[in-house]
Amino acid sequence: MTSPAPTVRKLGPGSLAIGAVGSSVDFAPRCTSAKIVPKVDTSDDVPVLDGSTVAGDRTYSATLEATVYQDDLYPGPGGLVDFSWANRGLQVPATYTPYAGGRAITGELIVDPLEIGGDVGKKNTSDLKWAFVGFPELVDDLS
């Protein structure tokens, strides 16, 4: 018996909550692109005396990469730029759900400040690339 083919989904509607529960900032309303990018670092394989080879070590890491519209530097809850500047360098929880009812990715991120500004007369965006501490987890829908 074969398994049914997985459903291919379009991204969204989903959520991207960054920060501690109760004080997190929802990046989703201003997010035009979001993805978790895994990375593997490997060391060289090592040949041993008996002619075989010992596999090199593999270390996994990941980043959250997103494009968000810049807000008006709104201070306090909800301000993306304010949140990123006030929490720069801090480790905060994050939950990314690519679409409602689907699975979520959770982990701890290191926040870097968002850029400010861009083209005059345009709704400017900032690209972020924040590193996870350790490797994030794929979990069942949290809603």
Question: CA-to-CA distance for 56 and 9, rounded, in angstroms?
Answer: 36
Helices (H) and strands (E) in the chain, counts: 1, 9
DSSP type of residue 5: P
pTM of this prediction? 0.84
User: Under 8 Å CB-to-CB from 12, ≥6 apart: which residues?
Assistant: 98, 99
Report which of 43, 34, 39, 55 is spatially closest to residue 134, judged by C-alpha positions. 39
User: Is residue 23 assigned to a domain?
Assistant: yes
pLDDT in tens, 109-139: 999 999 999 999 999 999 999 999 999 999 9
Is residue 141 very low, low, confident or very high in pLDDT (cuts 50, 70, 90)?
low
Q: Please count the structural domains in the chain.
A: 1
What pLDDT is recorded for position 132?
98
Range of the structural domain that residue 29 is part of: 15-41+57-139
In a domain, 109, yes or no: yes
Dump pLDDT digits (tens) for 11-34: 889 999 999 887 888 899 999 999
Residue 64 lies in a domain: yes
Q: Give the distance from CA 120 to its chain's centroid.
A: 29
At 101-111, the pLDDT tens digits run 889 999 999 99
The answer to whether residue 131 sits within a structural domain is yes
Closest CA to 143 of 107, 88, 100, 105: 100
